[in-house]
Chains A and B, each alone.
Chain A
């Protein structure tokens, strides 16, 4: 301790049972729940106060939304498998699973961009209606989270993976943290999909 080293960056603290990053990510996710909660609350307020509200499927593509849901659920599985690969001391397998996670996230973003372009072609901008404003706000914020996740995961897949040689346990913890964030992003989509596309 006298060396000025930050404690509990790898091993959990005895009283909380958590290492620093894990406590940090859960506090961050708690703030994210409040952020998306506020937007869902606004959606409810706008929807129940409207005289007329379209069913999402009449404007949005359900098959594309369902495909994106499958991509995100699959990426949740692959990121967990990448963490397990590290626990089994298998870096090449980690690279494969994390690579697949990143590709699935990019596929999700590609489809989302295609959906946006279709809307713009039909002059369906956020200013068109309350529904479109809510749709672009919620899915746009979610897409920003996906982009953030892709950047972090790409770093951990590439240059960040050098830590495996010097401090494998800490690197494994980093992947667990990245995974927790990624699962949260997946969870948000599991609510967004039915709310916006199906109801």
Chain B
């Protein structure tokens, strides 16, 4: 193997170590945010933002999506992303056609919130 290629691979390895350090640091930040006892809404926003950043780093660099130049691959992934977003948006339908026994159903039909009728999670 020629020296130039070895040097290129060594540079690549250094990049992977940096991404690894980034992923571990972001995980620590996620745990740190939990211990700050932030309001739930803000904590959810922060946790999902950090998770999305981690996914970008891992998928982009460990899975080489940043450097891939295959249009078909991006086509597959774009289609997957569209379906996944639609899938994750499905719960919003619940607000328009609420499931009996949930708080949305009771709010829509002005029913009193009952501990026995709702999904109670201890």
Contacts and interface: CB of A to CB of B under 8 A. Distances in A.
Does chain A bind chain B? yes
Interface of A: 16-18, 23, 26-27, 30, 33-34, 37-38, 40-41, 44-46, 48-54, 57, 62, 66, 69-70, 73-74, 76-77, 80-81, 84, 87-89, 128-131, 179-180, 183-184, 186-187, 190-191, 193-195, 198-199
B48 to A, nearest CB: 7
Given A62-B34, A73-B27, A129-B121, A190 B51 contact: yes
Nearest to B22: A73
B9 A84 contact: yes
Contact of A198 (B28, B30, B91): B30
Contacts of B120: 50-52, 129
Contacts of B118: 50-51
B94 A49 contact: yes
Contact of A30 (B30, B40, B80, B87): B80
A9 to B, nearest CB: 17
A41 B91 contact: yes
Interface residues of B, number: 56
Interface in B23-70: 23-24, 27-28, 30-31, 33-34, 40, 43-44, 47-48, 50-51, 54-55, 58-59, 62-63, 69-70
- A contact patch SS: helix
Contact of B72 (A17, A46, A70, A184): A17
B90 interface: yes
Contacts of A48: 91, 94, 104
28 contacts: A17-B69, A18-B72, A18-B73, A26-B73, A38-B87, A41-B87, A44-B88, A48-B91, A49-B94, A50-B121, A51-B113, A52-B121, A69-B27, A74-B20, A76-B20, A76-B62, A80-B62, A87-B9, A128-B122, A129-B120, A179-B62, A187-B58, A190-B23, A190-B55, A190-B58, A194-B34, A198-B43, A198-B47
B59 A66 contact: no
Contacts of B111: none
Given A49-B119, A190-B51, 19 more contacts: A17-B69, A18-B73, A23-B72, A30-B77, A33-B84, A37-B83, A37-B87, A41-B90, A45-B94, A49-B103, A50-B121, A51-B120, A54-B121, A73-B23, A130-B121, A183-B62, A187-B59, A191-B51, A194-B34
A162 B119 CA distance: 55
B6 interface: yes
A33 B31 CA distance: 25
